[in-house]
Structure 1
């Protein structure tokens, strides 16, 4: 009982709990003469030569190894018969071999191949609990499942593996796989405990050395690989994590050597080398990687920097009119003349040019038409759509209810001076449909999109680059028809005499015609720029991608694959470490795509570190988030325990149903394994897992009082539900709408390049004479637009092998029938939610569901039923995990 009682639970209470579902204990060690039987096994795997584009060399060398007797061997481990000569661990069966490796022809595509294996197994060996596999071939293979038939006394036994198995010389230990049974630590058969503990020890590694592709080590590191200080000070970036100035979640360790210039920074791989280390089982599968490469090909346009700039039309790096922007979707950019094309071909592989050229051979960089302009090319400019996208667009998680007027800043006045809003009642009441500000606040009808405090502390440095932008506040009125009406936009800059002197602000109010109308459109653009940058850096990258990675690392280090919470959470971690590693390599690094396309530029990741100071894990539970933002109030009688103050809030309405379905599933599942709070508190793996998340993975937050104690079932249910929500639904809501809404850059510009024109200046004169040109010269430039649109087209695409919420890639992920039934109920709830979402989208009274642009809100449409596996820019479907 020592394994369970290590956390101080009384021996008697723990014994009662553990013995309820414990496997039969060790049978008599006396030798019993029992006839040995042969049992057949089916092994499903994918060979390397199939997955690596028909690597003929790998296939040939495997055949040669096979001829010399270097084969794939397996040994079953008994869960009930001990081996006194092996430390009383489970008895090993005789070695068996995969049959007909040479003669079994693999498919030409990345598909599974079945092999047979025959084991000798006696009745005294009992239930096979695990097996050891040794790969003596030249190449690795992906082991999917192993199934044993007619095991004496037990029948069929299934093993879900889903792991790469490298040649034996790559390991210093045996590769062990466990059956589909689920065990808490104290319920683990005694003879399997060594293997369970040893496997976790192997996955933790020793914390030293550079990790290689065959290493299976999950470990932590700071974000110290974003800069390249050896290239010069312009490429140096601060280390994120480990300091009060720049706290950050931890990322997966690679162990690369430090740079020469800065010993605290890790040396980077060459830009186009995408082989950055993550544990091999965390890397994209063949189909996913093929999809990623196919679409990433177009986005690598930074390789074409000088050439692309020369291709832009008569005004270098500018869209002259909106028709120029639309041409990206309707016909693409014209290929350059022969002389320029020849120059490009000298630098760029023809295969890349051919991909960029698409199928017509005449134009390139032609993008799919974004949903926001598909039905109506000008509806995005309306005030109604501007407000609607705060509720149903790509960043619907920021808007909050205004509860005091004027809006108040939380910035320290001793450091930043007066930062409260300068908006007055007189400025906005004329647009409030007869209401006063006091009445609107009393009736819960005033709302704000507030990016002021987030941006003001770093705005001076941001504006020292090519960016010229403001910290914005946008006030909106909830109207009787359920829509939000913009009332005013405040644009603020740091005081020229210093931060302590406060902000210098200007307020703009709605107008539709003349120069005032153009100025109002620009004011909305500045607000959209703030929201776009905050969305990409905080709502999307930080609050989903970055914060989830420590949970993934801790789960693999501290929870065995047979632990019920591992089995619950693992599908929600698929591909996340890989996409985060790729992001560090080409997206969020110094000079990467994000710095080139989002307004904070070189200060982007610093800003995200500063805002991580405000991150609170428990606040990302959807009901808590809605209550904290004041868009909902407690209502014990309602289905979700709260009442939305914006009834037609698509993200919140659909999200609460998804949240409730996830929580019900998690509650049902956890109740199967934890009968009491004491069982949660007494689970050593669970406690070590939670402690490591808090003290290491999110170590810069370790002293925060809001962390759940993980001492009750409620703690575990709420925490697991929040993890699953963030990794699935929240990420889907803030990711897959990027191209539909921001693929048309004027709707969601990412950069502003000049301030609001002042009367009497040439810029103001242009605003009067050619408002579209003035607008386009203010927002994202042409090259940045091309690069940004290329990026978000990739990020918004579902892979063809996506696994959606309510689905599993392996049907027999557990042999627990009750867990399978609970999961099936979860899937049925999601199907019902899908039907209700479609019904709401058809209801014309709910004006925020579709809006002036006629884009139905489907970002939280689960995708469980009748969902095609074609992938692409579907704008719907909740993947299980942050997989792109």
Structure 2
């Protein structure tokens, strides 16, 4: 007889304990053990328990283990969360089997040894059959479903609780999320704001919506939101840094003339255009979009054009705003020299358009929905033993659950966005489909995107500065891992599972639109490296950049109105403080919008920062060392960002690595 020393690591998380008997079977190249009961009545959370499995002879090289959890008669069933199993063989070899999932049923679950393998690395039928069976089951558990024509596919599910256990929120995450949502709404109800459909009579009264829910920046925005420099600053470092681009020639539909704008130091518009000091934000994607009806009242959306000028002191300032795309007598170009109320009203309509562009295109579509596609395709097409699965699975944590919650509570028929947003309802899917048709691969890769928008030298653009450094660090890490497993382009081409993964993304995420530039297959190691970098960046850094500041900039509603109740002015001199109050959302809509922004800006206590890998999917020395090097570089960047921020009036913290979650989990 020979003995195998089996050490079981149970996760240190709520409800990971089991009182049910657990059995294990070891399977190797030379045979398999008997199904063995791990002789413990209770396996506690966080426990490290060692057992002995005896076999008549050596099993050869261990390939997989089988785990099952049954229950005694009259005993209740429970879920168990093992992290990993380590086995010491009679030959003194150590085998590690990563698990990191809930086992809650009475079925037998198969787990592979931790060394990363491609399909063509499998040297025996045991491994080949195991990965085929795993993917066969995953294709059922993670099926595609059409959300709406022209939009990325989503996971087929009947709400978040119908998702497989392994992708649902932890108990901690679920409890904290529900508590934050309920306490926010309870406060609003106690103040009588939830059902109050009256307009605000005074802007200062908005401060009482969430008296104790504020951030230093939300307070700062409340104080300075009317100022032109802060209006412009938000196109660089606010929640939507993806609109602005350099303007060398004015669009034909934006007839700003030399005599309209005042340029300091004796310069003029033509000269500043040539010098590259003029920038444009064009909301043309909103052109023609019908606005929602909120509480029986027609709302209004505009598709503005905004011209900005970089001053000699490097500060960006708005110099002209046109609220609709087609020049006309009833579509005036508003200027800083107009009355305070006219100019503020024009900026408010821009902020309303920016809310829609940000929430639906930049935030929902380009991070949440694309991340869902990346996650579902990963789970359907790459087994746990595949190196790309091990690399990317930490960056899918909670994404499917939060997206299902979003569809139920935000964008569904009774969701907050549908009921209270100007772009809710019919407009939501129309705008998303238009935005989807315009997505390009280059726009998802920050170095290409910055180059295409010609923003390489725009001062005070911290999203760009931090984002480019993060991209470089992620790229280096990804390149190291991929080049460790793929020594040639031929190996990339031969990896059938990898090719199925990208083809699934191309077809279900980008709807087979070749003009997007998304590759339908991988031909080279550099192609695979760049695409994988984009996936990691999108699921962590880009989401942090467009999500984390929602309450900072939206906690003061006039700075980020979810909807507007009056039509845009068609003539100068027709606005007043009264018309501005009538234009902004009513009291209950304001309260709902601020509550949602607060909820979506609160990370949970089980937040996992970028570069931290508490789940050890890689077991080999080289990729584990690459992970350590990755974290070290991120730590260095965090120090640099903090040092830079010390001298800033507004600290840009959203892309500080310690504030970036590894995945889209909120």
Q: Same fold (TM over 0.5)?
A: yes
Whole-Å separation in 1 of the counterparts to 2:194 and 2:484: 61
Partner of 1:326: 207
Partner of 1:784: 589
Q: 1:377 to 1:398 in 2, by over 3 A?
A: closer
Q: 1:375 to 1:702 in 2, by over 3 A?
A: closer
Residue number among 64, 67, 70 corresponding to 1:133 in the alignment: 67
Deviations 1:774-824 (A, max 9, x none): 4232122211111011111111111110111110122x3212111111111
Whole-Å separation in 2 of the counterparts to 1:320 and 1:455: 30
After alignment, is 457-466 or 519-528 more displaced? 457-466
Whole-Å separation in 2 of the counterparts to 1:318 and 1:460: 19
Paired positions, count:
659
Whole-Å separation in 1 of the counterparts to 2:156 and 2:661: 26
Task: State the shift of 1:587 in Å.
Answer: 0.7
Residue number among 419, 428, 432 corresponding to 1:608 in the alignment: 432
Task: State the shift of 1:567 in Å.
Answer: 0.7
Residues 586-735 of structure 1 aligned to structure 2 (within 5 Å):
586-602=409-425, 603-631=427-455, 644-699=456-511, 701=513, 706-707=518-519, 709-735=521-547
The answer as to 2:163 corresponding to 1:278 is yes
Which fold has the larger relative contact order, with Cα–Cα distance below 8 Å and residues 6 or more apart in sequence?
Answer: 2
The answer as to 2:301 corresponding to 1:469 is yes
Partner of 2:143: 219
Partner of 2:637: 833
Whole-Å separation in 1 of the counterparts to 2:47 and 2:213: 37
The answer as to 2:47 corresponding to 1:144 is no
Contact 2:292 2:300 in 1 (8 A): no
Task: State the shift of 1:460 in Å.
Answer: 6.8
Task: State the shift of 1:124 in Å.
Answer: 3.0
Task: State the shift of 1:705 in Å.
Answer: 5.2
Task: State the shift of 1:560 in Å.
Answer: 1.1
Q: 1:713 to 1:302 in 2, by over 3 A?
A: farther
Contact 1:250 1:550 in 2 (8 A): yes
Contact 1:221 1:253 in 2 (8 A): yes
Whole-Å separation in 1 of the counterparts to 2:192 and 2:204: 22
Contact 1:655 1:729 in 2 (8 A): yes
The answer as to 2:234 corresponding to 1:389 is yes
SS of alignment partner, residue 333 of structure 2:
strand
Contact 2:217 2:650 in 1 (8 A): yes
Q: 1:601 to 1:688 in 2, by over 3 A?
A: closer
SS of alignment partner, residue 580 of structure 1:
helix
Partner of 1:157: 95
Contact 1:76 1:128 in 2 (8 A): yes
Residue number among 548, 558, 571 corresponding to 2:394 in the alignment: 571
SS of alignment partner, residue 540 of structure 1:
helix
SS of alignment partner, residue 675 of structure 1:
coil
The answer as to 2:69 corresponding to 1:119 is no
After alignment, is 374-383 or 282-291 more displaced? 374-383
Deviations 1:366-398 (A, max 9, x none): x41233343574222211111111111111111
Whole-Å separation in 2 of the counterparts to 1:837 and 1:43: 37
Contact 2:2 2:58 in 1 (8 A): no
Whole-Å separation in 2 of the counterparts to 1:503 and 1:562: 65
Residues 224-239 of structure 1 aligned to structure 2 (within 5 Å):
none
The answer as to 2:5 corresponding to 1:42 is no
Q: 1:804 to 1:457 in 2, by over 3 A?
A: same
Residues 179-578 of structure 1 aligned to structure 2 (within 5 Å):
179-190=113-124, 191-205=126-140, 217-223=141-147, 240-241=148-149, 247-254=150-157, 275-298=160-183, 308=193, 312=196, 317-330=198-211, 367-375=212-220, 377-405=222-250, 407-408=251-252, 420-428=253-261, 430-451=262-283, 453-459=284-290, 466-492=298-324, 505-511=331-337, 516-578=339-401
Whole-Å separation in 2 of the counterparts to 1:475 and 1:187: 57
| TM-score w.r.t. length of structure 1 | 0.71
Residue number among 646, 652, 657 corresponding to 1:857 in the alignment: 652
Task: State the shift of 1:593 in Å.
Answer: 0.6
Task: State the shift of 1:468 in Å.
Answer: 2.4
Whole-Å separation in 2 of the counterparts to 1:723 and 1:122: 48
Whole-Å separation in 1 of the counterparts to 2:360 and 2:4: 58
Task: State the shift of 1:492 in Å.
Answer: 1.4
Larger radius of gyration: 1
SS of alignment partner, residue 589 of structure 1:
coil
Q: 1:425 to 1:144 in 2, by over 3 A?
A: farther
Contact 1:298 1:790 in 2 (8 A): no
Whole-Å separation in 2 of the counterparts to 1:651 and 1:520: 27
Task: State the shift of 1:702 in Å.
Answer: 6.0
Task: State the shift of 1:541 in Å.
Answer: 0.3
SS of alignment partner, residue 505 of structure 1:
coil
SS of alignment partner, residue 163 of structure 1:
coil
Contact 1:44 1:112 in 2 (8 A): yes
Partner of 2:624: 820
Whole-Å separation in 2 of the counterparts to 1:682 and 1:448: 46
Task: State the shift of 1:301 in Å.
Answer: 7.1
Q: 1:185 to 1:490 in 2, by over 3 A?
A: same
Unaligned runs of 5+ in 1: 1-34, 52-58, 82-90, 206-216, 224-239, 242-246, 257-273, 331-366, 409-419, 496-501, 632-643, 844-849, 864-876
Q: 1:152 to 1:467 in 2, by over 3 A?
A: same
Task: State the shift of 1:287 in Å.
Answer: 1.1
SS of alignment partner, residue 180 of structure 1:
coil
| TM-score w.r.t. length of structure 2 | 0.93
Q: 1:166 to 1:432 in 2, by over 3 A?
A: same
The answer as to 2:28 corresponding to 1:75 is no
Q: 1:530 to 1:101 in 2, by over 3 A?
A: same
Contact 1:837 1:861 in 2 (8 A): yes
Contact 2:152 2:510 in 1 (8 A): yes
Deviations 1:482-541 (A, max 9, x none): 21011011111779xxxxxx8952111014xxx801211111111111111110111000
Contact 1:39 1:121 in 2 (8 A): no
After alignment, is 587-596 or 432-441 more displaced? 432-441
Q: 1:533 to 1:817 in 2, by over 3 A?
A: same
Deviations 1:154-182 (A, max 9, x none): 433222211121222xx5xx310112211
Task: State the shift of 1:117 in Å.
Answer: 3.2
Deviations 1:339-374 (A, max 9, x none): xxxxxxxxxxxxxxxxxxxxxxxxxxxx41233343
Q: 1:198 to 1:503 in 2, by over 3 A?
A: farther
SS of alignment partner, residue 101 of structure 2:
strand
Unaligned runs of 5+ in 2: none
Contact 2:218 2:554 in 1 (8 A): no
Residue number among 30, 35, 38 corresponding to 1:95 in the alignment: 35
SS of alignment partner, residue 209 of structure 2:
helix
Contact 1:465 1:601 in 2 (8 A): no
The answer as to 2:611 corresponding to 1:801 is no
Contact 1:401 1:447 in 2 (8 A): yes
Whole-Å separation in 2 of the counterparts to 1:760 and 1:710: 56
Contact 2:331 2:570 in 1 (8 A): no
